[in-house]
Amino acid sequence: MKLLIKNGRVIDPATKLDAIKDILVLNEKIVEVQDEINQEADEIIDAKGYWVVPGLIDVHVHLREPGFEHKETIETGSKSAAMGGFTTICCMPNTQPVVDSVEIVQYIKEKTKRQAVVNVLPIGSITKGQMGKELVDVEKLVESGICGISEDGKTVMDSALLKKAMEQAKAANIPVFSHCEDHTLVQGGAMNAGKKAEALGIKGLGRDAEEVIIARDIILARNTGVKLHLCHVSTKGGVELTREAKQRGENVTAEVCPHHFALTEDIVEKDFTNSKMNPPLRTGEDVDAIKQGLVDGTIEVIATDHAPHHADEKNQEFHQAPFGIVGLETALSIGMTELVATKLLTPMSFIEKMTINPAKLLGIDKGTIQVGKIADITILDSNLEYEIDVNTFASKSNNSPFHGSKVKGKVMFTIVAGEIIVENGELKH
Ligand SMILES: NC(=O)N[C@@H](CC(=O)O)C(=O)O
Ligand SMILES: [Zn+2]
């Protein structure tokens, strides 16, 4: 199988390449990157006017399988990822059962092999059943194929237990993904604490719940030497703590989600549960700090926190509705619109946060377009303006606050290991 991609603007942050090039793919691999390649091929993509970038990598996705297949499955989640330009996604362990055993890791790997259209890397939980009491067997889970550990959805409140987990993660050379939220400070909150929450009569979630745990986890990571990755940072204080740790040279990375730089609590309404997620939408001040963090490199990764929920679950009273929104099919467009079109980030720096930076965090040989590498490639139309329509999503769920948003920049092709999965903006199969 020979695939030729012609005339695209290749943007590869790992090598700082930004030029019009042709790319030749033979079977799974990139075999040539040249100014001009003229050869016969089984398929030729004319990428004139498009950006050709490494396949996007999302380190924070909830695939819901096993246990919550009515929200999403490995198959539908992977198709949603492909539609969003992602070729590799990491799935969080808050499934039923939780990803705390070799059997469940194997189950996900098996399903991935048979049904997923992109690479899926499982993340193991930190404690058994995510109950916060007993550590998983980190070494065994790593041997079976997890790429990191996380209690996502929750925080391990027992600091001594978390420290032990960090020591084991360090020994196994995998990162710890931290969902930072002090349970004792939360108390039923459902949106950002402040005037808007008071006006709506919704219980507030303070910034301190996030900041306290970010501070604690940075300290524990320093003491254990583990690679700490802070999930979905949403507060100005969280950005500042991360910046300070990085300035001290500590082994910390942070991600932000598109909704946390594109939206504020202003859009929250009692009957609009697609504005409810955890951490919640914050204020303009937080958004500005997050954007500053993206610009100065404090925040190296953009991740979706794709959290599908069934419409029946979301159609409940605000406090009852589950936290979370889908994100795989909007992330690139939202980022292009909010960060690149506004010139806050260069194309190179934006793409870096969705490709080589997450690859480095995971320690995987992906996220770059170079001869000899696996051909995971995304092609986008950076100028195409369209309106987001949840009815077009490949995801099983459509809980997005971005329905109807006008954006600029759209995924046209997603290529996984040399195979075209998305063609002209549509799933091929
Ligand atoms: N982000 C969310 O609002 N929800 C996530 C859990 C999480 O990432 O914390 C979920 O699993 O639904
Ligand atoms: Zn989380």
From first to last of the 429 residues of the chain, give the pLDDT tens digit. Answer: 999 999 999 999 999 999 999 999 999 999 999 999 999 999 999 999 999 999 999 999 999 999 999 999 999 999 999 999 999 999 999 999 999 999 999 999 999 999 999 999 999 999 999 999 999 999 999 999 999 999 999 999 999 999 999 999 999 999 999 999 999 999 899 999 999 999 999 999 999 999 999 999 999 999 999 999 999 999 999 999 999 999 999 999 999 999 999 999 999 999 999 999 999 999 999 999 999 999 999 999 999 999 999 999 999 999 999 999 999 999 999 999 999 999 999 999 999 999 999 999 999 999 999 999 999 999 999 999 999 999 999 999 999 999 999 999 999 999 999 999 999 999 999
Task: Check if the beta carbon of residue 53 is closer than 8 Å to that of residue 347.
Answer: no
Q: Is residue 307 part of a domain?
A: yes
Residue of the nearest CA to atom 2 in ligand 1?
A: 324
Q: Is residue 205 part of a domain?
A: yes
The owner of tokens 């965090």 is: 361
Tokens at 20, concatenated: 């019009």
- Residue 152 among known ligand-binding residues: yes
Which atom of ligand 1 is the closest one to the Cα of 154? 9
Best residue among 155, 305, 313 to mutate for probing ligand 1, ranked by most atoms within 8 Å of CB? 305
- Residue 58 among known ligand-binding residues: no
* Residues 259 and 212 placed together within one structural domain of the fold: yes
Q: How far is the CA of 145 from the centre of ligand 1 (A)?
A: 23
In whole angstroms, give the CA distance from residue 73 to residue 95. Answer: 11
* Residues 120 and 41 placed together within one structural domain of the fold: no
Q: Which of 305, 312, 376, 389 is catalytic?
A: 305
Q: Is residue 367 part of a domain?
A: no
Q: How far is the CA of 159 from the centre of ligand 2 (A)?
A: 18
Ligand nearest to the CA of 63: 1
Question: How confident is the model at residue 32, as a pLDDT?
Answer: 98
Q: Name every protein residue with a CB atom under 6 angstroms from any ligand 1 atom.
A: 62, 94, 152-153, 179, 277-278, 305, 307, 323-324
Which atom of ligand 1 is the closest one to the Cα of 231? 8
CATH code assigned at 385? 2.30.40.10
* Residues 36 and 169 placed together within one structural domain of the fold: no
CATH code assigned at 83? 3.20.20.140
In whole angstroms, give the CA distance from residue 3 to residue 267. Answer: 45
Q: Is residue 368 part of a domain?
A: no
Domain final residue pick, 308, 336, 362: 362
Domain of residue 166 covers: 55-362
Residue of the nearest CA to atom 6 in ligand 1?
A: 153
The residues, ordered by sequence, that sit 6+ positions from 62 with a Cβ below 8 Å of its Cβ are 72, 77, 91, 92, 94, 305, 306, 307, 308, 324
The DSSP call for residue 324 is -
Q: Is residue 143 part of a domain?
A: yes
Give the DSSP H/E element, type plus range, for residue 381: strand 377-387
Which atom of ligand 1 is the closest one to the Cα of 153? 9
Residue of the nearest CA to atom 4 in ligand 1?
A: 324
In whole angstroms, give the CA distance from residue 190 to residue 328. Answer: 23
Which atom of ligand 1 is the closest one to the Cα of 179? 9
- Residue 324 among known ligand-binding residues: yes
* Residues 165 and 308 placed together within one structural domain of the fold: yes
- Residue 62 among known ligand-binding residues: yes
Question: How confident is the model at residue 322, as a pLDDT?
Answer: 98
Q: Where are the beta strands (DSSP E) in 197-303?
A: 204-205, 228-230, 252-256, 301-302
Tokens at 145, concatenated: 């194929």
365 belongs to the catalytic site:
no
Residue of the nearest CA to atom 10 in ligand 1?
A: 307
- Coil, strand or helix at 119: strand
Domain final residue pick, 362, 382, 405: 362
What amino acid occupies position 23? I
- Residue 229 among known ligand-binding residues: no
* Residues 212 and 69 placed together within one structural domain of the fold: yes
Domain final residue pick, 318, 333, 362: 362
pTM: 0.99
Q: How far is the CA of 424 from the centre of ligand 2 (A)?
A: 33
* Residues 388 and 283 placed together within one structural domain of the fold: no
Number of domains in the chain: 2
Q: How far is the CA of 166 from the centre of ligand 1 (A)?
A: 22
Ligand nearest to the CA of 401: 1
* Residues 46 and 95 placed together within one structural domain of the fold: no
The DSSP call for residue 404 is T
* Residues 81 and 199 placed together within one structural domain of the fold: yes
Q: How far is the CA of 286 from the centre of ligand 1 (A)?
A: 20
User: What count of other Cβ atoms lies within 10 Å of the Cβ of residue 254?
Assistant: 28
- Residue 27 among known ligand-binding residues: no
The owner of tokens 């391990």 is: 156
Q: How far is the CA of 326 from the centre of ligand 1 (A)?
A: 10
Which atom of ligand 1 is the closest one to the Cα of 60? 8
* Residues 394 and 246 placed together within one structural domain of the fold: no
* Residues 386 and 247 placed together within one structural domain of the fold: no
User: What count of other Cβ atoms lies within 10 Å of the Cβ of residue 206?
Assistant: 18
Question: How confident is the model at residue 187, as a pLDDT?
Answer: 84
The answer, yes or no, to whether the previous bond of 280 is cis (omega within 30 of 0) is no
The answer, yes or no, to whether the previous bond of 279 is cis (omega within 30 of 0) is yes
* Residues 84 and 178 placed together within one structural domain of the fold: yes
Q: Is residue 67 part of a domain?
A: yes
* Residues 342 and 258 placed together within one structural domain of the fold: yes
